[in-house]
Amino acid sequence: MTEFLINGGRKLRGAIAVQGSKNSALPLLAAALLVCGEVVLDNCPALSDVDAALEILTYLGCRAHRCGSAVTVDATGMHACDIPAHLMKRMRSSVVFLGAILARAGRAEMTMPGGCMLGPRPIDYHIDALRALGADIDLCGDRLLCRACRLRGAELLLPFPSVGATENAMLAAAACRGLTRIRNAAREPEIVDLAGFLNAIGIPVRGAGTPVIEITGGSRPHGVRYPVMTDRIAAGTYLCAAAVTGGEIELTNANPLELRALTDALLRAGCTLTVNGSRLRLHAPRNLRAVGIIETGPYPAYPTDLQPPLLALACTGKGTSIFLETMFASRYNHIEELRRMGADILTDGRFAAIHGVPRLTGAAVSAPDLRAAAALVTAALGANGETTISHIDYLDRGYARMDEVLSSLGAEVCRREF
């Protein structure tokens, strides 16, 4: 087990380059399966979830290795089309290998994916989309058996703009003869990054970033060198962390437009934000204000993954902040732990009302999932005294060496392994 010991109250100051995006790197690694040849992904973050994806690729028979921040995958020798349960259970994103393996091999076998416990996370939209593209899919308990003699382009209408279902449909559509049109597609920036990758390997994709995406499949993809986009969730987490300490930081490689929903909330809290190209500077006041009403939703609405760190910030914002979590049923796992630190929070189902207190107090808390861990780190940085956060392994799934990044900004963070 790994824990963080944080001595709170030190202002974060300085500049950081944000890591590559976890939620983009994982589908891009799956997409490398479409190519018989070498794919190099630059700016690929060093995360345990990325390691898990590399293990899946190696199991399938690909060459996959990291050199610095570049990961090289060569799927020419792919010989398996199943993923064992112990690899599937390591993360939710293992499910995007379904569309990619099916596209490459015409069949795929796996169990249901793992991932953070945020309430029910079905994959019915993924399955329906793949079936509409011509796949036969049998569900036997926890196992998925997929076969497709011939995948063919089709009109798909997603019941909800699911990120994972959109990615799976795009990956399978790459191998479909003809045009696939996905309506009500997810519009997240990570979808645009995947489309950029597919275009770069020779699969024409149009409309990514809008609700209608068109993929013209069937051509033979070729190798490419491609940079993973920067991680908007990590960027947003560092902004929240700096803000609770009354600090001043600069992100040197941000995409401020992608962070709009968060920066609007930080402005309401009294922070000053300055944009200069891809440089985003935050200056926080001594005392934060409430963040107003935050309702999570599909992009461009407020991102559910940044709800926990902002909620932690709201704990010391003067006044009342209201959160409405619409994306996942159990995404308030951090609230009980924040209460241990003195937070004043009322919950009712998907609503949370946070009454700002002047200061939180350090305590022994336990991280229940990845983004909840980020919330506890945020709270601890602004709290009086020492906080121990156990189960930091969750944090390492999505944030590359967060302790080192925070230390470089002046925080007092110590990692302890047991």
Can you give the binding site for ligand UD1, defined by CB under 6 A?
23, 26, 92-93, 121-126, 160, 162-165, 186, 190, 304-305, 327-328
- The neighbouring-strand residues paired with 227 are 42
CB of 264 to ligand UD1, least distance (A): 18
**Catalytic, out of 44, 116, 176, 240:** 116
In the block, which residue shows the tokens 């969730």?
233
- Nearest approach in angstroms of CB 184 to ligand UD1 is 12
Which residues 6+ apart lie within 8 Å of 356 measured at CB?
288, 289, 290, 314, 315, 316, 317, 318, 319, 320, 321, 344
Of 182 and 411, the one with the shorter C-beta distance to ligand UD1 is 182
Our CB check for ligand UD1 shows the closer of 35 and 327 to be: 327
Phi, psi of 28 (to 5 degrees): -65, -40
Residue placing its CB nearer to ligand UD1 in the complex, 42 or 124: 124
Q: Is the peptide bond before 300 cis (omega within 30 degrees of 0)?
A: yes
CB of 257 to ligand UD1, least distance (A): 17
Inter-CA distances, 359 with 31, 154, 312, Å: 46, 55, 11
Q: What is d(CA 257, CA 409) in angstroms, rounded to the nearest whole number?
A: 24
Rounded distance between C-alpha atoms, residue 87 and residue 113, angstroms: 9
The answer for residues whose C-beta is within 8 angstroms of residue 319's C-beta and 6 or more apart is 289, 290, 355, 356
Choose between 11 and 90: whose C-beta lies nearer to ligand UD1.
Answer: 90
DSSP 11: P
d(CA 211, CA 209): 7
Least Cα distance to 325 among 367, 365, 372, 360 occurs for 372
d(CA 119, CA 172): 27
Min dist CB 377 to ligand UD1, Å, is: 17
Give the β-pairing of 107-111 and 143-147.
antiparallel
CA distances to 210, 242, 414 from 245, in Å: 37, 5, 17
Cβ proximity to ligand UD1: between 173 and 360 the closer is 173
Q: How far is the CB of 334 from ligand UD1 (least distance, A)?
A: 14
H helices of 274-367, in order, are 307-314, 333-340
Rank residues 111 and 387 by Cβ distance to ligand UD1 and give the closer one: 111
271 is catalytic: no
> Which single residue is written with the structure tokens 């809008």?
210
| Least distance (Å) between residue 185 CB and ligand UD1 | 11
CB of 7 to ligand UD1, least distance (A): 30
Q: Name which of 165 and 249 has its Cβ closer to ligand UD1.
A: 165
Rounded-to-integer distance, Cα 77 and Cα 365, Å: 46
Q: How far is CA 303 from the centre of its chain?
A: 10
Separation CA 62–CA 93 (nearest Å): 18
Q: State the minimum distance, in angstroms, from the CB of residue 389 to ligand UD1.
A: 20
Nearer to ligand UD1, 93 or 387 (CB): 93
Rounded CA-CA distance 188/86 in Å is 29
Give the active site residues. 116
